[in-house]
Amino acid sequence: MRHPAQAVVLAFLLADVVGTALLMLPPARTGAGGADPLTALFTSTSAVCVTGLSTVDTPHYWSTFGQLVILALIQVGGFGIMTLASLLTIVVWRRLGLRSRLTAAAETKALGPGEVRRVLKGVLLITVSCELVVAACLTLRFALGYDEGWGRASYLGAFHAVSAFNNAGFALYSDNLVGFVGDPWICMPIALAVIAGGLGFPVWLEVLRHRRRWRQWSLHTTMTVGATAVLLVLGTVLITVGEWNNPATLGSMDAPGRVLAGFFHAVMPRTAGFNSIDYGDVAGGTLLITCILMFIGGGSAGTAGGIKVTTFVLLFWAILAEVRGERDVEAHGRRIDERAVRQALTVALLSVGAVSTATVVLTELTEHALDAIFFEVVSAFATVGLSTGITADLPGPAQLVLVALMFLGRLGPVTLVSALALRERGHLYRLPEGRPLIG
């Protein structure tokens, strides 16, 4: 029987291929003929991997049909191919076999196979509820604040709500959301939707279950919520201060507008590619801070990318335990399993390797500055979608590298490696212990 991780990879590949084929159809674009294969592949991969990078102007290049295809790919990618497959299994067979339960648990990061059925229902409820609320808020603002017709306002509201909750970052404006940089009625609903989608479904299910008893939260939920709050506050402060006097970004705005923009751009690297300022004009320090936030990403089993905040926090606690000379890694009154620490280290190092390799390759393929290339690579791998504006200028081979990075970043290094393994291998013996010199 096929390994669950292999099924995840094949499912995403199938969605990507179908999306590419649909976007190559003549009705999918506004001009004559269909999109070329590379443009269709790049856009499809970016949508199904909920990234947001694009080599073309989304509102002008793609027709309404093409935009709806992108929207569907975003929803499918954010919801999770294996989650949808498990839901179909419930509908058709009214039950999940053990193998299917384990497969769904691997994709949704459920606490146990027995909880998968409840998780799937909760995922659907949370997704639909959040997207409907955000879509309603945005629709009202577009209609009443920008004189859009109710039909157009509803379309804009629904598209950006789905794109935000799924951390995709696709927008129906050529400058993304730069035109709304000082509008809290547009920026705040989108930012809150990004946070909601990026926390992860298990976190939301537990928060709703114990909404008045936060002390009963699991270690995973405590770490995810706590780290998210800390990173949002730090990101807001650092980005706002760094761009406060930059006339090309925040310098020309009033104080509340600067804080709003700073908060918005502390949220987006978590990982949605919306932007209300031009990243081509930001300071070098802001680019570096954004890269760090993008690489960390959001919560596990959510719509965010990156190495995930739990991985980052686990490594922090492991370093702290080693510095203190403690034998066990402990956090929030719990001892962390050694396998979890090894998994976190593996994910982090494989991710660093992927980003480093891609940066070197793109440096050889393009003439762009290293900081812009590095920013683009991290954005693609972390499935963020932010860019300094070089995406469309990259040659075909460089765009294919980004396609591979988006796919790898969405599935995760460990999942991809596991998918290539035919079976797990165990040893019936242990070798003598060795201790090489470190440092």
Tell me: pLDDT of 242 over 90: yes
With a pLDDT cut of 70, the percent of the chain lying above it is 86
Query: Residue 317 and residue 222: Cα distance in Å, rounded?
Result: 14
| 427, part of any domain | no
d(CA 214, CA 231): 20
Q: Domain for residue 430, yes or no?
A: no
- State phi, psi for 181 to the nearest 5 degrees: -60, -35
Residue 324 in tokens? 């203190």
Q: Where is pLDDT greater, at 435 or 405? A: 405
Gyration radius from the chain CA atoms: 22
Distance CA 25, CA 35 (A): 7
Q: Poorest-confidence range of 90-94, 133-137, 232-236, 350-354?
A: 90-94
Q: Nearest Cα to 243, choosing from 273, 288, 180, 274?
A: 288
Residue 211 to residues 126, 133, 207, Cα–Cα distance (Å): 15, 20, 5
Specify whether the CB–CB gap between 435 and 381 falls below 8 A. no
Query: Which pLDDT tens digit goes with each residue over 105-129?
Result: 444 444 444 555 666 777 788 889 9
Cα separation, 64 vs 394, in Å, equals 26
What is the structure's pLDDT at 370?
A: 93
- Is the confidence at residue 413, as pLDDT, over 90? no
Confidence of residue 278 (pLDDT cuts 50, 70, 90): very high
| Mean pLDDT computed over 392-418 | 84
Which band of pLDDT confidence, cut at 50, 70 and 90, is reported for residue 6? low
Residue 434 lies in a domain: no
Determine contact, residues 49/409, Cβ cutoff 8 Å. yes
Range name among 116-120, 345-349, 393-397 with the lowest pLDDT average:
116-120
| Domain contains 436 | no
List of residues 6+ apart from 132 with CB closer than 8 A: 161
pLDDT, mean of residues 8-16: 85
Domain count, the chain: 1
CA distance 53 to 50: 9
Domain housing 88: 4-420
* Domain membership flag for residue 312: yes
> Would residue 433 count as lying in a domain?
no
Say if 288 falls within a structural domain: yes
pLDDT at 89 over 60: no
Torsional class of 80: left (φ above 0), alpha (ψ -120 to 50), beta (otherwise):
left
Q: What's residue 5's pLDDT?
A: 61
Residue 314 scores a pLDDT above 60: yes
- The verdict on residue 432 lying in a domain is no
pLDDT at 326: 87
**Average pLDDT of the chain?**
85
Q: What does the pLDDT read at residue 126? A: 85
Confidence at residue 333, expressed as pLDDT on a 0 to 100 scale: 80
Neighbours of 111 (CB within 10 A): 15
